[in-house]
Structure 1
Amino acid sequence: MRNFMIIEAPSNLGLKELQPGIEPGVKFFPEALRRNDFAEEAGISQIITVPAPPYTMDIDPDTQVRNADAIINYSQLLADKVYEAVNKDIIPIVIGGDCSILIGTALGLRRTGRPYGLFAMDGHHDYMLPEHSGTAGAAGMGLAFVSGNGHPKLSDIAQLSPYIREEHIYAFGNREMDPAYVQPIIDSRISYYDLPAIREQGIPAIIKAFLTMNGQAGLDGFWIHLDVDILDNEIMPCVDSPDAGGLSYEELEEALTPLLASTLFRGMHVTILDPTLDPDNRYTRPFSVWLARLLRKAVTGFTQD
């Protein structure tokens, strides 16, 4: 049996307001999972919370990123907890929050001094720099920052850039197909699979290639970034940037199961579900049950790569 813990990271600092005067509700995601008995159903008893600072709409003049200084400070607090867990051979499941928590989790891995891979499952690729962003939100820039791109205030915290090397990252699931949006990640060294490529190449082949890369590169393991907007909008509409299409629960499970079963799996974070957009728990409850079931299998059993 492997040792798991939950780290609650209720930060909404990486998003802009959906409506004037109403801050993003993703900070309530950990609380919503608590109400749905997520930890108990997943078989995880240890839970800690890293409280987030207050939300503002302020844009930092140096980086042109919203809440940049607060994100940097919060990322270091979150990195402390991830670092402590991984060094104790504990697998953290970090419940966000928005996608800017990727900066803190990747920084925590980097502090170990050992190299890691990243499997980023997201309906958007998040490899964007401030000059291309229409929101100034770090949530859409996380993959760029952790791979050493962008302003050093965010990409080189404690002079540890890159937190994860581009060639050790797989970006899986983007369905925002505007050519100007996708060109930067195509030009990078990230292994990029948009939704059409996933359907064409098949999920098992992509997962196998990622696990093989981890072994060949001599990595200490890998982290999973799971943004719930990778799911089809029909089954997961309570997100900040909904788009038509996406994966089914069955397809996402096909991808996650071998990753969670791998002995190289070191942890994951889950982001962007906004319970304020789901007042009757219609979408949050099925997601909680589904993910808890997958994690319980990982907690109690399988260990094949």
Structure 2
Amino acid sequence: MKEICIVEFPSNLGLKEPQPGKEPGVKKLPEWLWRHNLHKEINPKDVLTLDAPKYTNIKDPETQILNANSLVEYAREQAYLINNLLSQNKFPFIIGGDCSILLGTAIALKQKGNYGLFYLDGHTDFMDISLSETGGVGGMAASIVTGNGHPKLTDILNLSPYIKEENLWCVGNREYDEQYENEIQNSEAKYLSLKELRKQGISNCAEVFLSEIKNKNLDGFFLHIDVDVLNDEIMPCVDSRTPDGLSYAEFNELASYLFQSEKLTGLEITILDPDLDLTGQYTKDFVVNITSTFDKSRNNF
């Protein structure tokens, strides 16, 4: 059984300002989840924190991406930390931050071998910079880690692609804009929108994914959880709200299949913004659901 290590990446570098002069509040998420007992329930062997570089709302002229140089610097530091944990056969339970925190972990996974990525998100995050109005890596993270985009971000340490496109499963999107969906549909990634996930069935989807990891003889897979995959009524405290989404029953069912797999190498939780959940009620519900589902499965690590 792998030792679980909570890793805190309190970064908001991949998001635009919610309003002029105000930083995105998602960098407060690790402390916020600690206050709402996630750390207590997970009961990790260690808790490690890596502070992010200073946030700016300025686009890099070379890439047109927000905080590009800081993201590269941070990703290298993240990768070093995660690589060490994986070398010790530990399980990184990562708390963001926005979705750009994936870059460092993806680099570490590439350094270790050939891994799959289950990207559970209310958006594909598989977007070219040409379609981005904000220049935020949070909306492009899945695309960047599979080698699409400017080499400053896609080829850090000459490791592009960090995750092979064919080993990405993008699940749960409900942004049904044709131009937006075309990006992922025209890739080699497996794409299951929320509609398609429900149509095919959660257990079937998980079974096919886990079979593919086994049949491809991958070294493992990493689970990305953007909380905006949840229904907007139960998780409205996110930066990009969209109607519908998974119920907790659906989320817990899918998560439990993935948590139980011995091929699960680590996971990350992103996007819940404490500034948007002033009473903490939505956060409390989330912590209860994810920790109870995780704890029931952890004996399989």
Q: Would you say same fold, with TM above 0.5? A: yes
Matches within 5 A, 1:241-256: 241-256=240-255
Tell me which amino acid in the other structure corresponds to 2:110. R
In the alignment, which residue of structure 2 is the partner of 1:92? Answer: 92
Task: Report how far residue 43 of structure 1 moved.
Answer: 2.4
The residue number in structure 1 matching 2:33 is 33
Partner secondary structure for residue 85 of structure 1:
helix
Partner of 1:275: 274
**CA offsets, 1:65-97, max 9 Å, x none?**
000000011011111111111111101011000
Q: TM-score, normalised by structure 2?
A: 0.98
Contact 2:169 2:191 in 1 (8 A): yes
Corresponding position: 1:291 with 2:286: no
Give deviations 1:148-169, integer Å, cap 9, x for gaps: 1100000000110000001111
How far does residue 294 in structure 1 lie from its aligned partner after superposition?
2.1
CA distance in 1, matches of 2:224, 2:238: 16
Counterpart CA distance in 1 for 2:241 and 2:16 is 15
1:157 counterpart residue number: 156
Matches within 5 A, 1:1-305: 1-112=1-112, 114-299=113-298, 301-302=299-300
For 2:241 and 2:180, the matched residues in 1 are separated by 16
Deviations 1:26-76 (A, max 9, x none): 001001011112111112231000101111001001111000000011011
Shift of 1:171: 0.3
1:296 CA drift (Å): 2.0
Q: Partner of 2:281: helix, strand, or coil?
A: coil
Q: Please state how far the C-alpha of 1:216 moved relative to its aligned partner.
A: 1.1
On the 8 A contact 2:3/2:45 being kept in 1, the answer is: no
CA distance, structure 2, for counterparts of residue 263 and residue 45 of structure 1: 19
Q: Distance in 2 between matches of 1:179 and 1:295?
A: 35
Contact (CA 8 Å) 2:185, 2:191: kept in 1 or not?
yes
1:199: how far off? Answer: 1.0
Aligned equivalents of 1:4, 1:275: Cα separation in 2: 24
Query: CA deviation digits over 1:276-299, x for unaligned, max 9?
Result: 111110101111122122222333
Rounded to whole Å, the distance in 1 between the matches of 2:251 and 2:295 is: 16
Amino acid in structure 2 at the alignment position of 1:184? E
Q: Which has the higher contact order (CA 8 A, sep 6+)?
A: 1
Shift of 1:181: 0.5
Report the residue type matching 2:279 in the other structure.
D
The 8 Å contact of residues 106 and 146 in structure 1, kept in 2 or not, is answered as yes
Q: Determine if contact 1:39/1:292 at 8 Å carries over to the other structure.
A: no
Gaps of 5+ in 2: none
Runs of 4+ displaced beyond 6 Å:
none
TM-score with structure 1 length normalisation? 0.97
Cα distance in 2 between the residues matched to 1:186 and 1:194? 10
Q: Secondary structure at the match of 1:100?
A: helix
CA contact (8 A) 1:14 1:138 kept: yes
Query: What is the deviation of 1:302?
Result: 3.1
Distance in structure 2 (CA, Å) of the matches to 1:189 and 1:61:
30
Contact 1:2-1:298 within 8 A present in 2 as well: no
The answer (yes or no) to whether the contact 1:9–1:95 under 8 Å persists in 2 is: yes
Sequence identity (%): 45
Q: CA RMSD in A?
A: 0.9
Give the whole-Å Cα distance in 1 for the aligned partners of 2:205 and 2:291. 24
